[in-house]
A = this chain, B = another copy of it.
């Protein structure tokens, strides 16, 4: 029998950019008794989460909830809207954009990958002008969809989706706009309707503070129209039946009831704080985190301040310093998990998550762990990031956090 309590004395700090720490409230909600997903009370639960999740996506259009983890929702976005051989334009923002492209190819789509050269693309957001230019060239409208990642989890860059929308419109191009905000949703501002996104893909284990296992497609009318003629095979991911049955709060097949309990609680927590307050909290923490990195004299992976991520901060280690060795030291000595460098950045950076259930003192613990670890690893630091972050947090001190109910 495996002991599931892996960690030693004291709380483990899970500071990867997802899965994020699951609050006790959500773990408790997930332990409500499983009910009959065809019984009368399930409909009430279903209607509530379906209505609540729309507010999180800032949409009045349907949000499809899948009993599957986020990668499934990527697939769902593609198979519902596209046909074999369709040309899709994707933008290389990092590792997850690359994985999504790989999936599109596996599904038989023809992909085209725009991007900046070398690792530059991994340090800046989507370049909307490049998309506009490319679409203008596509006078035959061969390109059926533009796929971009909103918050690139591998780098800590949050691209400007409104700009991508404007680029498509400026080019007068009919391509669908498909956006992955798996790690952005509910930590970074996101506006499905206002930004004119056709399919927004997201997941549960990031800003929603749930364990992995639920994922989402928020869909536009135009996307639904496209799904009626798209011919990639689809059954489990098919929007049509799900949206139809969702009208009464049910699903055509077994939904994952206990994670829906958790989702219901997460929605209550986020809307209780106020969605925009949640975003402001993450911006403030991210700002303090970057102050620390700058004070250490290390480089932030995101090279364009306009697209700094409120979800995570990528920290580049000096040439010759193995970032994963530092991560391991911090893990072994200080009981904290940090995100590894992925793909092109393997060994060259680590990622600090400050998404979901994060506050001033969990950030300070995290930065202290990083600073001690960097020093123990022999990385020369220009100054104390912990001091810099405390200065930032103190200067923008949070409104009163605690009120008796």
| Residues in A lying within 8 Å of B, measured CB to CB | 1-14, 16, 18-25, 27-41, 43-45, 48, 66-72, 74-75, 79, 84, 103, 106-108, 203, 205, 211-213, 232-236, 238, 253-259, 261, 264-265, 268-269, 273, 278, 281, 331-337, 340, 357-362, 364-366, 368-369, 371-372, 375-376, 384, 386-387, 390, 393-394, 397-398, 400-405
Contact = CB atoms under 8 A, between A and B. Distances in A.
Contact of A19 (B36, B265, B278, B400): B36
B335 A268 contact: no
Contacts of A25: 5
Nearest to A268: B1
B19 A24 contact: no
A335 B7 contact: no
A372 B393 contact: yes
Contact of A6 (B19, B22, B41, B235): B41
Contacts of A369: 360-361, 364
Given A19-B257, A365-B362, A402 B40 contact: yes
Contact of A394 (B34, B335, B372, B386): B372
A5 B32 contact: yes
A2 B265 CA distance: 9
A203 to B, nearest CB: 7
A35 B336 CA distance: 11
A34 B205 contact: yes
Contacts of A365: 361-362, 364-365, 368
Given A8-B403, A31-B31, A41-B404, 16 more contacts: A7-B33, A9-B273, A10-B360, A22-B34, A28-B31, A67-B213, A71-B254, A103-B236, A331-B402, A332-B400, A333-B400, A334-B401, A336-B361, A364-B386, A372-B394, A376-B397
A2 B257 contact: no
A18 B39 CA distance: 12
A7 B24 CA distance: 11
23 contacts: A2-B45, A3-B405, A4-B29, A4-B264, A6-B35, A9-B269, A10-B361, A11-B23, A20-B34, A31-B31, A34-B205, A67-B69, A69-B255, A69-B256, A72-B72, A72-B236, A106-B233, A107-B234, A211-B258, A331-B402, A332-B402, A361-B366, A364-B364
A188 to B, nearest CB: 15
Nearest to A213: B256
A347 B296 CA distance: 38
A340 to B, nearest CB: 7
A2 B107 CA distance: 40
A404 B44 contact: yes
B9 A357 contact: yes
A254 B106 contact: no
Nearest to A211: B258
A33 B39 contact: no
